[in-house]
Amino acid sequence: MQTSTSSMPLPKRLIGFFAVTIALTAAVAVLGIILGMVGSFVSNGGGGVTWTFLSEFPRNNNTEGGIWPALAGTTLLVLLMTILGVPVGTATAIYLTEFAKQDSWFARSVRFAVNTLAGVPSIVFGLFGVGFFIQFMGNGIDGWLGTSSFGDGSLLWSAATLAVLTLPVVIVAVEEALRAVPRDLREASLALGATRWQTIVKVVVPNAVTGILTGSILAVGRGAGEVAAILFVGVTYSSESIPSAVTEKFMHLGYHLFVLSTQSPDVDLTLPLQYATTLVLLGLTFLLNLTAILIRSRLRKR
Amino acid sequence: MAKDIPLKIETHDFSFYYGAKQALHNITIGIPERRVTAFIGPSGCGKSTFLRSINRMNDLIDGTRTDGHMVVDGIDVYSKEVDVVTLRRRIGMVFQKSIPFPKSIYENITYGLTLNDSVSKSDLDSIVESCLRKAALWDEVKDRLNNSALGLSGGQQQRLCIARAVAINPDILLMDEPCSALDPISTGKVEELITELKDTYTIVLVTHNMQQAARVSDNTGFFLMGSLIEFDRTRTIFTSPSKKETEDYITGRFG
Amino acid sequence: MSNPFKQTRKRPGEWIMEWSIRLVASASIVMIFLILLFVMREAATLFVSAEATTEATSTPSAGSNMEPESYNPDAPAEAAASEPDVYNPEAEDPTTTQQQGEPGAPGQFIYASKNPKYPEIYNPDTGLLPEDIDVVAEDQAEVDTTRKTSVLSKLTGDQWQPVGDVPKFGVKPLLIGTLKTTTIAILIGAPLGILAALYVAFFAKRRVREVVKPAIELLAGFPSVVIGFFCLVTVASFIQDITGAPYRLNAVVGGIGLALAVIPIVFSIAEDALSAVPKTLREASLALGSTEWQTAYRVMLPAAAPGVFAAVLLGIGRAFGETMIAIMATGNAPLSSFSPLEPARTVAATIGSEMGEVVWGSEHYGVLFFMGVLLFVFSFGLNAVTELYVKKRLIKKFQGQ
């Protein structure tokens, strides 16, 4: 590049310099913002993340104490979400890569639906959680069983809402992993007289396990930080205990941060708590995403 | 061509289409039992497509269809009564690239066997040994049967794939350019193996290497642009072909 | 002759598994329909109850209380709160209980109005801003006519004031707010994302690329509350310092926050599109004597244009649908002002901040769901455009020529 620019007239070289610099600046700016954000959280919240902070209940109307119920609630939520969502996502990905004729209308519809689902604003999932899971399913179950525990926001309905929200994340990641399994390997198995199903179970899925794992981790990472979708589906800002049943309400790290920073009567007082909560939430999603990105880049190289 | 040997595979006006594109044009051929039959021709001439049509591997590709008859052991394999899985269990296949499963050597050999039947460990052991011996690989790997097959060299991997195909005890072995990715020494070993295996199996070999066809096969067919131009004893094809296209190809005037 | 290849083994298990997988695969399609259906179903209560209300207002007001199905906006809020299907998650909370005493504030969130650092200029009791208070007197005169107007004309009003004696559901300020913040977010986020993608795809050395790309992808994993919080405490002060804006939280702060959510989306899709441009195109251009930058800007970027366009469209989708950042960083006041330094309130933020305090089944509830339908339809439309139009053009460009 140096050799070609040096033979050019000065204005052109300036434009060239500017063209490269502006792209570089954009990349540096984005990186700078990310670093600035993380740096501000670490420097302001680093001291607040102590064992007592992690293991204690909030006290005095969320102005003192720790975040244990929020941490536990978030964990329970994403675990339940994974159990509900990952099997469906994996099955869909298996359908798309192994069974679907690529130009069939059904395969194309599934693909379109997955992309659409990925673009639906998370708040709409929240409304869907209210309208479908609580009002329709919950009240339906209550009416049927004669109970009164399902027709209200709960851990179960929040996890179900998030499972739908993260479904495209799982599908895309697992599909990518399945496609990375060489076609030859499938043919070798089929040529040995294995059925399509045996090939999937014995050859394709074992070779795509890391990808299924990546999908689950990405989904968990997305679900752990998602607040808008669960705002009205079962999250609560104060709880005396860790939920012991899926029909109970729960505390959530992201929602806790939201409440502390915008809904609390004295925001300044709890600022250290807010920073520490942010750091924990970010650390959690950061770790999950980093793991997934690393696994995936290793997978792509293979 | 000798007519005294029974035919294992016969086709009558067999045509094959990828969507609207016709890849094989009215192939009629009789492949004799327990002989090595080689198919040669320039790349894209349809020889691999023909090979993959015998055990219906092309079914896996969307939008393909066939016409005419592909008869194996007296049964049209594209008829409704044929179960493609059972068909493939009777026809072994070796691919261009050696593709061992990312499992141990032992598991690679037993993969096809344990799919549907429970076989005792001692039976499996003896089958593994006999297959690896048939593939001339036993002495090289007998001490590391439980190591990953991916640790073998390219030539060893290809022989393992042959052993794996032999393990399901097929009547027919289809080989799709099995030596194209191998060095000359490994190629020599595989060719030796092919000559030994032809007493037991009907072998159909696709190769782009004319010398290889001349060395190992009993009969040779020449494909060009989806048509079978000529099919005869290998010696006849290479010394006095009856078609001009064959002669041009053999003498290296194109392809 | 006997058939040696006939099926020797029935495999009903596999048949069942195969079809269950097909069935499960339809879940995504089913979900799309369910979302539309059930969000619309809840929104439909709006139109049903609105008819009931219109009928009720024509009869004496005492009669309207006896109609169990109708929602009566005149009824005291406390009475509404005692209805069985009221959703009141904060009922046990002491601070909320205190507020219960205040008129017209049933079970609502403790709004930050008492917070000195982040003065919430939007008054949740009246739904009005201080500056607009003089308008109220005029409006009081129109009360009777407002009551009788249909839902649709209510929605087209100029004010969003869902709580109060005369609820007003004019979505205009919300649409203006959404437009304002989304525009700012795209103006900041799209160029940054595209240029960063261009840098990573063409100019960066391999080793740099392997650091920059995952780092920006990591930004996509930042929870939006975290971005919102960052804007609330850091960006807001910074912007106020350099602009001297009268309000700490405003559309610019919110727009920057949304841009942070938009950048990774625009970046990764644009980067994919740029990397998908055939290498031969680049080599051909370089072979003709163009420099790297000329090739990048004049050959590669235009070649990937449909993909970059798709990236921006999906970025827009993310910006207008984003809720938490919009609630936390925009000031969240339903103003009809186009000024970027004044607060804004987006449609999504309105749903997010009011759904928790609304009486389930009420008119307000229906309006919020109706806005949810709007969001869904809009995002669906954006996605359909990218899927059906942009991708086709991209494929044509690379294969058809």
Distance CA A158, CA A80 (A): 9
**C145 vs chain A: nearest CA distance in angstroms?**
31
CB atoms C87 and A8 under 8 Å: no
Count chain B–chain C contacts defined by CB atoms under 8 A.
29
Which one-letter DSSP state was computed for residue C359? P
A105 touches chain B (CB under 8 A): no
- Residue range A146-166: average pLDDT? 91
- Give domain limits for chain A: 10-46, 49-301
* Per-residue pLDDT reduced to its tens digit, A43-70: 998 888 888 888 888 887 777 788 899 9
User: Are A237 and A255 spatial neighbours (Cβ–Cβ below 8 Å)?
Assistant: yes
Output the pLDDT for position C93. Answer: 39
Mean pLDDT of chain A: 87
Of C154 and A106, which is predicted with more confidence? A106
pLDDT in tens, chain B (255 residues): 455 678 889 999 999 999 889 999 999 999 998 999 999 988 888 899 999 999 899 888 888 889 999 999 888 999 888 888 888 988 999 998 888 998 899 999 999 888 877 888 888 999 999 989 888 888 889 899 999 898 898 888 998 998 999 888 888 999 998 888 888 888 888 898 898 888 889 999 999 888 899 999 999 999 999 999 999 999 999 988 888 888 888 887 664
Mutation target vs A (from B88, B114, B162, B204; most A CBs, 10 A cutoff): B88
Task: Tell me: pLDDT of A281 over 90.
Answer: yes
Q: Which residues touch C16 (CB under 8 Å, ≥6 apart)?
A: none
Distance CA A193, CA C40 (A): 51
* Per-residue pLDDT reduced to its tens digit, B164-194: 998 888 889 999 988 888 888 888 888 988 9
Task: Tell me: pLDDT of A87 over 90.
Answer: yes
CB atoms C199 and A293 under 8 Å: no
Which one-letter DSSP state was computed for residue B142? G
Chain C neighbors of A274, CB-CB under 8 A: 229, 233
- Residue range A136-147: average pLDDT? 89
**DSSP-assigned letters across all residues of C125-153:** TTTB-GGGHHHHHHHHHTHHHHHHS-HHH
C31 touches chain A (CB under 8 A): yes
User: Are A32 and A26 spatial neighbours (Cβ–Cβ below 8 Å)?
Assistant: no
Distance CA B9, CA B78 (A): 13
Distance CA C110, CA A63 (A): 14
Judge residue B200's burial from the number of C-beta atoms within 10 Å of its C-beta, 0-12 exposed, 13-18 middle, 19 or more buried. Answer: middle
Q: Which of residues 71-100 of B touch C (CB under 8 A)?
A: 72-75, 77, 81-83, 85-87, 90
Mutation target vs B (from C5, C6, C8, C18; most B CBs, 10 A cutoff): C5
The tokens of B176 are what? Answer: 């799709």
Q: A58 pairs with which residues across the strands?
A: A65
CB atoms A184 and B95 under 8 Å: yes
Mutation target vs A (from C11, C23, C35, C227; most A CBs, 10 A cutoff): C35
- The one-letter amino acid code at B139 reads D
Chain A neighbors of B55, CB-CB under 8 A: 191
pLDDT in tens, chain C (401 residues): 567 777 767 778 888 998 999 999 999 999 999 999 999 988 887 766 544 444 443 333 333 333 333 344 443 333 333 333 334 444 333 333 333 333 333 333 333 333 444 444 444 444 444 444 444 444 444 444 444 456 666 777 777 877 777 777 878 888 999 999 999 999 999 999 999 999 998 888 888 888 888 888 888 889 999 999 999 998 988 988 888 878 888 889 999 999 999 999 999 999 988 888 887 888 888 888 788 788 888 888 888 888 899 899 999 999 999 999 999 998 888 888 888 888 888 999 999 988 888 888 888 888 899 999 999 999 999 988 888 877 777 666 665 54
**A182 vs chain B: nearest CA distance in angstroms?**
9
Q: Are strands B36-40 and B219-224 parallel, antiparallel or unpaired?
A: parallel
Radius of gyration of chain B (CA): 18
**A262 vs chain C: nearest CA distance in angstroms?**
6
Distance CA C72, CA C52 (A): 9
The tokens of B144 are what? Answer: 């590391």
Find chains touching chain C: ≥3 CB pairs under 8 Å.
A, B
CB atoms B95 and A187 under 8 Å: yes
Output the pLDDT for position C173. Answer: 87
Task: Tell me: pLDDT of A27 over 70.
Answer: yes
Q: Which of these, A27, A50, A13, A76, lies nearest to A241 by C-alpha position?
A: A76
Fold of A49-301: MetI-like fold (1.10.3720)
Chain C neighbors of A268, CB-CB under 8 A: 116-117
**C89 vs chain A: nearest CA distance in angstroms?**
7
- Which residue in the set C5, C7, C8 is minimally distant from B77, CB to CB? C5
Q: Are strands B64-72 and B7-18 parallel, antiparallel or unpaired?
A: antiparallel
- Give domain limits for chain C: 172-398
Helix (H, G, I), strand (E, B) or coil at C252: helix
The CB density around residue A197, as the number of other CB atoms within 10 Å, is 18
Judge residue B7's burial from the number of C-beta atoms within 10 Å of its C-beta, 0-12 exposed, 13-18 middle, 19 or more buried. Answer: middle
User: Are B165 and B101 spatial neighbours (Cβ–Cβ below 8 Å)?
Assistant: no
Q: Which of these, C313, C376, C345, lies nearest to C129 by C-alpha position?
A: C345
User: Are A158 and C94 spatial neighbours (Cβ–Cβ below 8 Å)?
Assistant: no
Tokens 């959690």 correspond to: A284
Cα–Cα separations (whole angstroms), residue A179 to A176, A184, B216, C108: 5, 12, 37, 50
**C235 vs chain A: nearest CA distance in angstroms?**
10
Cα–Cα separations (whole angstroms), residue C4 to B5, B10, B115: 20, 16, 19
Tokens 């009420």 correspond to: C362
**C260 vs chain B: nearest CA distance in angstroms?**
43
Is C172-398 assigned to CATH 1.10.3720.10?
yes
A302 touches chain B (CB under 8 A): no
**B202 vs chain C: nearest CA distance in angstroms?**
16
Chain B neighbors of A103, CB-CB under 8 A: 62-63
CB atoms B88 and A185 under 8 Å: no
Cα–Cα separations (whole angstroms), residue A185 to A158, B103, C33: 40, 12, 37
